[in-house]
Amino acid sequence: MRKPLVVLLLIMVTTTWGRFVDKGANSEIVDTFYKHESDAEPEEDAQYEVISEDVPTLPRMNSQTKWEMIRASGQDPTIRRRKNKQQRQQKVVLGRERRDLILAPWRITHITPKKATVAPVPKKPAMALSFDMCPEKFDAITKGYNGRTYVFAREKVYQIWFEDGLPQKASYLISDLFAGGPRTVTAALTNSRSGVTILFEGRTAYRFRWNRKHRRFQLAKNTPQELPRNITINPLSAFEWADGNQVVLSGEHFIIYDAYWNLATFTGHTRKYFPNLPRDLLGIVYNGAGETLLMYTKTNKLKVYNTKKFKVVQEYPLKLSEFVGCQSR
């Protein structure tokens, strides 16, 4: 009596599995859902073939359009206009003339001090924390302009760098290494052209520059800033794309973010412009000549993403204890 029942069950399982496989093979890209708000273990990303010519490129904006967007946001682009090379050189010359004037016999002896516009940087280097247990998960990651990688977990940040060819690791309080910064970080990215590192704590953006003398990050002027209302996403991950655009991601949607003017210059759908992007992406830690990107994911994996094929071609699991220098749980 049991044999017919077993055969019947096998037939039902085989039929159900066949339908599942057929559905997965014929499903459209529209079914792809990018979301990592949940702490649940994400499923493996199914890589699908992409025709490179069908993937739109991120738009480039001319200066006139950019100025119109800045004015529309209620800001004056002529007040905080970025200085070009000629203006910077002129500033150096004026500084020398001012120095010569001060050294002259009729030099001014009393000068009214200027008001500080940025938070002062402590003169001593940040104090490293003691060797501790590994965090349960990371919140954000970025590679700084100084060549060091920074991994954020709750109120701590792990610094990874090489010195004399040997890997070095240390952990700090975020508010200590990033003076005047947030307590926790939800997303982070570094602009390789300006050298500015942007940290997001919810909808608040902080801009920092590395202070080589004090070996800390210094808070930039006019920061922190709250994201404007027309930016409707909450930053969950951020990265600099292969073409230099600063991308802030939240599930299915992303923006190209200009941290200096605190505005979004473009908004789009993640799966349309970034096919096969890992759903649990935290950040990009290496850009290999614009064709190969090394991505770090929420499941503690390094994934090699090819920007010509628009897919992950390799992946490597990492041990937290070896990656950031902590004690395994």
* Residue 146: predicted pLDDT: 94
* Residue 94: predicted pLDDT: 57
Whether 26 is covered by a domain: the verdict is: no
Number of domains forming the structure of the chain: 1
Minimal CA–CA distance to 244: which of 308, 296, 311, 193?
193
Whether 18 is covered by a domain: the verdict is: no
- Output DSSP code: residue 136: S
Other Cβ atoms within 10 Å of 320 Cβ, number: 21
Minimal CA–CA distance to 167: which of 317, 323, 293?
323
Are 309 and 293 within 8 A, CB to CB?
no
Are 237 and 251 within 8 A, CB to CB?
no
Question: What distance in Å separates the CA atoms of residue 50 and residue 56, rounded to the nearest whole number?
Answer: 12
- Output DSSP code: residue 200: E
Q: Which amino acid is at 50?
A: V
Those residues whose C-beta lies under 8 Å from the C-beta of residue 273, and which sit 6 or more positions away, are 55, 56, 58, 254
Are 286 and 299 within 8 A, CB to CB?
no
pTM of the predicted protein model: 0.77
Whether 148 is covered by a domain: the verdict is: yes
- Structure-derived torsion over alpha carbons of residues 285, 288, 289, 290, reported in degrees to the nearest 10: -60
For 90, half-sphere exposure in the C-beta direction (CA atoms, 13 angstrom radius) is: 5
Chunked into runs of 10 residues, the chain (329 residues) has average pLDDT values of 43 41 40 42 72 90 90 86 57 57 52 54 84 92 96 96 91 95 96 96 96 92 92 95 94 94 95 94 88 94 94 93 88
Are 269 and 34 within 8 A, CB to CB?
no
Whether 186 is covered by a domain: the verdict is: yes
* Residue 7: predicted pLDDT: 40
CATH number of the domain encompassing residue 137: 2.110.10.10
Whether 253 is covered by a domain: the verdict is: yes
Whether 93 is covered by a domain: the verdict is: no
Rounded alpha-carbon distances, angstroms, from residue 142 to 181, 235, 264: 16, 14, 20
Whether 225 is covered by a domain: the verdict is: yes
Rounded alpha-carbon distances, angstroms, from residue 23 to 17, 20, 27, 135, 316: 10, 5, 6, 38, 29
Expressed as residue numbers, the domain containing 141 is 123-324
First-to-last alpha carbon distance for the chain, in angstroms, is 51
* Residue 259: predicted pLDDT: 95
Whether 166 is covered by a domain: the verdict is: yes
* Residue 303: predicted pLDDT: 96
Minimal CA–CA distance to 210: which of 83, 323, 86, 125?
125
Are 153 and 135 within 8 A, CB to CB?
yes
